[in-house]
Structure 1
Amino acid sequence: MSTGRRSIVLMLGLAAAGAAAGATSGLAWQPSRNVWYRRTWGIDIVGVKPVSSGYMLAFRYRIADPEKAAALNDRRSKAYLVDEATGTVLSVPSMENVGELRQGAVPQAGRTYFMIFGNPGRLVKTGGTVSIVAGEFRVDGLRVD
């Protein structure tokens, strides 16, 4: 194999490894803690990603145990995101015709749910660390992908 071809193969391998790492970085924050959230709250944390050109942040979680996870979909509990670097608190916006940008349906095992948080002025950047709070539920140390 020529040197040029080896370089391309190496770059493609590194790009694939980087994409795979990026796809699971929300889970890679501390795998042992993710097991704790599955046992205690019945969820697997998928991650936090910027959406709407960074003006909103989406927290996604997959339901493992619908009974334990019901508290996260309870719209009576207020949800918010805290930027750990600045202490900025971001809330779930409420739209006039849609309501709050979080799901409130009865959770079903295997489905992925979300909460959308406003990020005015793109205060929280990719690579930042945040906490998510919803009623009694709290998760710290999530990296924004």
Structure 2
Amino acid sequence: MKLRSPSTTPAVLLAGSVCLAATLVQAVAAQPGAPAVSTLRHSPYMPVNLSQRAKNFYGLMKGVDNLSVRRTASGNLIRFSYRVTDPVAARLLGEKTATAYLYGEASHVLLEIPVMDKIGQLRQTGPLEVGQEYWMVFSNKGNPIKAGERVDVLIGSLHIDGMIVE
């Protein structure tokens, strides 16, 4: 009778225990009543909209204030509205050729403004006036962007970051 060397016995035991553990994990996961493990975690902190410093920055440098992003039409559309304080600084918002996008930070979705056959783009364009409120609507078909999610509005070189969808 030949005896095994003491160095191979722990290796065999370790390999056997790894195989047994993998088999048990697969058996538990295959059960129909097993709870599903959620990999998506939500932050326990309340979302905070733009800070006063950011609002001052957009008002002075970008020529807009009263920024808001809201879901409309049962969540199928997202409306971005703003008030113009300086038409020269905010000129990109009124240009027809500037393409506007809404980017969802959590869902990594890039939304566009829908174009209707007889109406055109669902946004206000043309010369901007001081104190007037303007809007643009983004298509959210399938509701990839939910209420409470942070979004960025991208219009040419104008970026408005970190807004919360109401």
> If the TM-score is normalised by the length of the shorter chain, which range does it land in?
0.7 to 0.9
- The root-mean-square deviation of aligned C-alpha atoms, in Å, is 1.5
Report what 2:81 is aligned to. Answer: 60
Report what 2:63 is aligned to. Answer: 42
1:81 aligns with 2:97: no
Give 4+ residue runs of structure 1 displaced > 6 Å after superposition. none
Higher Cα radius of gyration: 2
Shift of 1:45: 3.8
Query: Could you tell me how far apart the structure 1 residues matched to 2:58 and 2:67 are?
Result: 12
Report what 1:17 is aligned to. Answer: none
Report what 1:135 is aligned to. Answer: 156
Report what 1:93 is aligned to. Answer: 114
Q: Read off the aligned partner of 2:149 and give its amino acid letter.
A: G
Structure 1 runs not aligned, ≥5 long: 1-24
Greater RCO (Cα-Cα under 8 Å, separation 6 or more) = 1
Structure with greater helix percent: 1
Q: Read off the aligned partner of 1:130 and give its amino acid letter.
A: V
Q: Deviations over 1:88-111 (max 9, x none)?
A: 100000000110011102111111
Q: Read off the aligned partner of 2:129 and give its amino acid letter.
A: Q
Structure 2 runs not aligned, ≥5 long: 1-46
8 Å CA contact 2:107, 2:144 repeated in 1? no
Shift of 1:43: 0.5
Q: Give the SS at the match of 2:89.
A: helix
Report what 2:141 is aligned to. Answer: 120
Report what 1:19 is aligned to. Answer: none
TM-score by length of 2: 0.69
Q: How many residues are matched?
A: 120
Query: Could you tell me how far apart the structure 1 residues matched to 2:59 and 2:96 are?
Result: 21
Shift of 1:34: 1.1
Query: Could you tell me how far apart the structure 1 residues matched to 2:155 and 2:73 are?
Result: 22
Query: Could you tell me how far apart the structure 2 residues matched to 1:45 and 1:137 are?
Result: 16
Q: Give the SS at the match of 1:37.
A: helix
